[in-house]
Amino acid sequence: MYDEFLSLCGYSPDEISEQKNRVQQAFAKLGLTEEDIERGVDRIRRFYAVDLEPVRLLLGVWVKELVDTMMAGEEKKKIIYSEWPGANCVLNMGGVTACEDVHFATPVSQTFMIVLGGIFGKLAPFLEAGESLGLPPARAHCGLWQMHVGVIASGLIPKPDLIITSQYICDQAAEADQLLEDLYGIPVVYLDGCCDWQYGEMPSKRQVELVAGRMHKIKERIEEVCGVPFPQEAVMAGFKDMAKTYFFHKALADIMVAADPQPISQANLDLVYFAQFTTLQHRKQYQQAAMALAKDLKRLAKEGKGVVPKGSPRVYLAFRFPGQPDVYQMIEELGLAVPLALLDYLPPEEPDANTYNDLMEIIAKSVYRNAPPCTAYSNIRYNVNSCKAFDLDGAIEFYPLGCRPYSITPLMIRKAISDELGIPSIVLEWGGYDPRDYPAEQFRSRMETFAETVRISRDIKRA
Amino acid sequence: MDAMNELKEHLAGRPFELKQAREKGTRIIGYVPGGFMPEELVYAAGALPVGLVRGGSSKAVAESASYLPRWIDTFCRSQIGHYMLEEDSLYRIIDLLVAPITDVNVRALADSFDFYTDIKTFRYGVPHDKEEDVTRYYLEGLYLLKEKLEEITGNKIEDSKLKEAIGQYNRMRALLGAIGELRKLEAPPISGRDFAWLNHASYLADMPTLIKCLESIYDELKGKEGARPLTRLLLIGSTLAMGDDKIFDLTEESGAAIVMEEFAEGMRHYWEPVNTNGDLMQALSDRYFTRRLPPAWSRPTKERVDFFRKMAGEFSANGILWYQLMYRDGYDVQSSYFQKITEAEMGVRMLKVESDYYPVEIGPQRTRIETFIEMISI
């Protein structure tokens, strides 16, 4: 079963014989059983387009990332973790270039979600670990931070020498890491900031400078912990990696938006999208696979092949579901095309009178620009403009209930979409990083009604 | 207490007074009562500050559901409910809402006003630790606030006026501190409920009237004794709003006394005065940020632990009642390990109680509080 699993994840026969033991060791640490591997094989076949080689290779990138993290305690001298959101992820990416003996990882926010959630459908034990160690259930805590606290505090993943956390877009990140610091003595460095610019405005120089100043300090702290210099060039390399990854994803999103029918499920695009926030060790494999996937998508579009009928209504999806690929499948089964999802669209740059020369300031500004949850205003505009830019027929406004920043705006967005564009939208709360109470089927009946509404609305508009 | 009644009468007429003042051209500045907004600046600009301190209303919470999802902190969410219900005219007469952005929940409060109402907000950030860079950032925020107040009122904030306002607020804080400290006595002459009400009144009342009343209240209480409580509790948490009294009902009915309160929002931080030597803006920043006890979502935790250890000793408290509103995750996360710290390091037991302002909560809360009080009274 392991061979089949690894083969579906793009491992070559040589890689399988070389890596199988290591993968088994890593999976054993996570409590993954033969039964889980069997389920993983089944889910991969159901939710991902594994008839395309690039998709298999992308799955493999994520599996390798998880295995590397699980084995880092034995294989690396130091370990540094960081999760999104925030510019801290860029520093982590730069660290991969700067310090070879250090394992930089974004363990939970993407890797766990894609491998343990998307592939294995097994997040519950990790969520429960967090619930018992400080972030209790039924309080709408973010599943990401529950798992982060749970797996680190319980020693399920190797204990880090440093955690880089942030507190400006979301509060729970720093609060959870403060718990790890206060209670378990794990060193934490905080990227503090304030999303305090006025409603309707963009961040000013002072907000950017505050975050950038902290990034300089964090860079020094990384040098202290790693015992090697963390040169500016490495930070730049991390930033370029992030930008490059974004544009890989953007290239795929552009093909998806132009194609009719939608060539593949959005579940496959998650494998590319989430790489932009992750300190991937196997970046080369990722880049080659993403480029090859673009070619495959173009071919499928040209051949008129797709996962929904040609001419299906097209809707914007306000979130991504790395741990629940079945949600995409359910929406697509109802005949709704999802050409565009969260952050696929890059709006024209807002005019900014400020110029930034310092690299950290450039990074800080870039992260602010690309983060709709920084303010309600930017999130509302982002959603409205995404629908408008591609003349979409409706919007599915999923929001994760454990995410405070995203919980501010769904009702505002719905009103703005209705007032400004006159297209239907639906607001659906969902578990985000915690799929336990929100399986795809829970949404089916509401989604069926919504799909019908979108069809009627589009027909009326066309008539 | 005669002075307490006088203050109640004053508050009853306060909305009308404020409405009249506004009609005559005085600007009314609403603000989030989280202790990071120096009202001295508002007074010095010739405007009148009004804290949006209402809470405890399930009706406002239900109303807010049309505007914000329920996963935002109860107090912050209910503010747009109070506005929409039109039951409190204070929410309708403000010219500007000042929102020191402490966390995402306060951001939600401000966003809901910006999006759904004609009231515009003014935001400035409150960073989450006390390092030099963020201290400077907070001070810059105060300068921006000063500029905004000058713009909206058309009045320049002169140092002389600011010093006078600081003097008044220092006096108010000192009086609240002195009245609060009377509860160090074995038989406190004032209840936690009345003391909290004085705090709430201070967000709305005319300052000279408030000071006069507080002076009289202090004189009336000095030397008096109240009932000897079964046990003495520190009450700490996220928000203690005006109208959210059930925690007092439940503790008092069980024979306990709340002898000291500390909240991120809704209660004054009266322990520290503003020093008036030197630069006044710097002094405001020093008092409102640097020397202000950090809320649970800020750092360092140690400052909070040390403070509560000191307070538990000074007020002879036998227990801590941690009262937080739903979905204020900073408090929820810290509560999980604060309990361990208080029990291990302070030898004081803690009970956590949560509220979403719904009346049905009272039954289970009563059982838990009664049991806790019985346990620590043995």
Instruction: Tell whether the model's pLDDT for residue A370 goes beyond 70.
Output: no
DSSP-derived secondary structure letter, B89: G
Residue-level pLDDT at A367: 83
Strand A102-105 relative to strand A78-82: parallel, antiparallel, unpaired?
parallel
In angstroms, the separation between the Cα of residue A104 and the nearest Cα of chain B is 25
Q: Write out the DSSP string of A346-395.
A: -PPPPP------SHHHHHHHHHHHT-GGG-HHHHHHHHHHHHHHTT-SEE
Closest to B365 (Cα-Cα) out of B335, B323, B319, B329: B323
Integer Cα distance of B368 and B131 in angstroms: 40
Integer Cα distance of A368 and A354 in angstroms: 14
The continuous run of DSSP H or E covering A81 comes out as strand A78-82
Summarize the confidence of residues B215-242 as an average pLDDT. 97
Angle at alpha carbon of residue B291, lines to B287 and B294, rounded to 5° = 120
- What residue type is A234 in one-letter code? A
Answer yes or no: are the C-beta atoms of B105 and B72 closer than 8 Å. Answer: yes
Integer Cα distance of B62 and B57 in angstroms: 9
Mutate to test the interface with A, among B79, B322, B329 (most CBs of A within 10 A): B329
CB-nearest to A408 from B111, B333, B336 is: B111
CB atoms inside a 10 Å sphere around CB B305: 16
A414 shares contact with chain B (CB less than 8 Å): no
Peptide bond into A203 cis (omega under 30): no
CB-nearest to A404 from B71, B101, B340 is: B71
Cβ contact A179–B333 (<8 Å): yes
Cβ contact B141–A196 (<8 Å): yes
Phi-psi region at B130: left, alpha or beta (left = phi > 0; alpha = psi -120 to 50)? alpha
For A323-339, what is each residue's pLDDT tens digit? 999 999 999 999 999 99
**In b/e form, how buried is each residue of A69-83, taking b as 16+ CB within 10 angstroms?**
bbbbeeebebbbbbb
B 111-130 residues with CB < 8 A to A: 111-112, 114-116, 120-129
Summarize the confidence of residues B141-170 as an average pLDDT. 98
From chain A, the residues in CB contact with B336 under 8 A are 134-136, 179
Peptide bond into A322 cis (omega under 30): no
A 277-336 residues with CB < 8 A to B: none
Q: Which residues contact A416 (CB under 8 A, 6 or more apart)?
A: A380, A383, A384
B 260-279 residues with CB < 8 A to A: none
pTM across the whole model = 0.97
Residue-level pLDDT at A140: 95
A356 shares contact with chain B (CB less than 8 Å): no
Cα A7 to Cα A19, A271, A383, distances in angstroms: 12, 17, 39
Residue-level pLDDT at A366: 85
Answer yes or no: are the C-beta atoms of B221 and B182 closer than 8 Å. Answer: yes
Answer yes or no: are the C-beta atoms of A289 and A58 closer than 8 Å. Answer: yes
For B365-378, what is each residue's pLDDT tens digit? 999 999 999 999 88
Q: Where does residue A240 rank: exposed (0-12), middle (13-18), buried (19+ CB within 10 A)?
A: middle
From chain A, the residues in CB contact with B301 under 8 A are 178, 182
A194 shares contact with chain B (CB less than 8 Å): yes
Closest to B331 (Cα-Cα) out of B283, B296, B294, B367: B296
Integer Cα distance of A451 and B274 in angstroms: 60
Q: Write out the DSSP string of A438-450.
A: --THHHHHHHHHH
Task: Name the band, by pLDDT with cuts 50, 70 and 90, for residue A51.
Answer: very high
Closest to A276 (Cα-Cα) out of A253, A304, A299: A253
For B328-363, what is each residue's pLDDT tens digit? 999 999 998 888 888 888 889 999 999 999 999 999
Residue-level pLDDT at B67: 98
In angstroms, the separation between the Cα of residue B109 and the nearest Cα of chain A is 9
From chain B, the residues in CB contact with A175 under 8 A are 296-297, 329-330, 333-334
Phi-psi region at A31: left, alpha or beta (left = phi > 0; alpha = psi -120 to 50)? left
Instruction: Indicate the SS3 state at residue B274.
Output: coil
- Residue of higher predicted confidence among A349 and B6: B6
A92 shares contact with chain B (CB less than 8 Å): no
Instruction: Tell whether the model's pLDDT for residue A181 goes beyond 80.
Output: yes
Cβ contact B127–A210 (<8 Å): yes
The continuous run of DSSP H or E covering A420 comes out as helix A410-421
Instruction: Indicate the SS3 state at residue A34.
Output: helix
Mutate to test the interface with B, among A195, A408, A433 (most CBs of B within 10 A): A408
DSSP-derived secondary structure letter, B254: T
From chain B, the residues in CB contact with A135 under 8 A are 332-333, 336
Q: How many CB pairs under 8 A join A and B?
A: 145
A141 shares contact with chain B (CB less than 8 Å): yes
Instruction: Tell whether the model's pLDDT for residue A351 goes beyond 80.
Output: no
From chain A, the residues in CB contact with B112 under 8 A are 408
CB-nearest to B69 from A171, A172, A407 is: A407
Summarize the confidence of residues A82-95 as an average pLDDT. 84
Cβ contact B332–A139 (<8 Å): yes
Answer yes or no: are the C-beta atoms of A118 and A140 closer than 8 Å. Answer: no
Peptide bond into B189 cis (omega under 30): no
Residue-level pLDDT at A346: 81
Phi-psi region at A197: left, alpha or beta (left = phi > 0; alpha = psi -120 to 50)? beta
> Which residue of chain A is at minimal alpha-carbon distance from B101?
A196
From chain A, the residues in CB contact with B289 under 8 A are none
For A425-448, what is each residue's pLDDT tens digit? 999 999 999 999 999 999 999 999
Instruction: Tell whether the model's pLDDT for residue B100 goes beyond 70.
Output: yes
A408 shares contact with chain B (CB less than 8 Å): yes
Integer Cα distance of A250 and A373 in angstroms: 20
Angle at alpha carbon of residue B246, lines to B241 and B249, rounded to 5° = 130
Integer Cα distance of B127 and B133 in angstroms: 10
* Sign, Cα dihedral of B114, B118, B120, B126: negative
Mutate to test the interface with A, among B63, B71, B341 (most CBs of A within 10 A): B71
Cβ contact A407–B107 (<8 Å): no
Integer Cα distance of A236 and A243 in angstroms: 10
Half-sphere exposure of A138 (CA within 13 A, CB side): 2
Instruction: Tell whether the model's pLDDT for residue B201 goes beyond 70.
Output: yes
B294 shares contact with chain A (CB less than 8 Å): no
Integer Cα distance of A196 and A320 in angstroms: 27
Quickly count helices (H) and strands (E) in chain A. Answer: 18, 8
Cβ contact B67–A175 (<8 Å): no
> Which residue of chain A is at minimal alpha-carbon distance from B65?
A411
Integer Cα distance of B148 and B153 in angstroms: 9
For A6-49, what is each residue's pLDDT tens digit? 999 999 999 999 999 999 999 999 999 999 999 999 999 999 99
Mutate to test the interface with A, among B97, B107, B112, B298 (most CBs of A within 10 A): B107
From chain B, the residues in CB contact with A377 under 8 A are 111, 114
Instruction: Tell whether the model's pLDDT for residue A403 goes beyond 90.
Output: yes
Summarize the confidence of residues A183-192 as an average pLDDT. 96
Summarize the confidence of residues B241-263 as an average pLDDT. 97
**In b/e form, how buried is each residue of B286-302, taking b as 16+ CB within 10 angstroms?**
bbbbeebbbbbbbbebe
In angstroms, the separation between the Cα of residue B156 and the nearest Cα of chain A is 22
Summarize the confidence of residues B181-199 as an average pLDDT. 98
Q: Which residues contact A294 (CB under 8 A, 6 or more apart)?
A: A248, A251, A252, A255
Cβ contact A139–B327 (<8 Å): yes
Answer yes or no: are the C-beta atoms of A177 and A167 closer than 8 Å. Answer: no
Cβ contact A411–B137 (<8 Å): no
In angstroms, the separation between the Cα of residue B20 and the nearest Cα of chain A is 30
From chain B, the residues in CB contact with A412 under 8 A are 67, 111, 115-116
Cβ contact A134–B133 (<8 Å): no
Integer Cα distance of B8 and B217 in angstroms: 12
Q: Give me chain A's average pLDDT, please.
A: 94
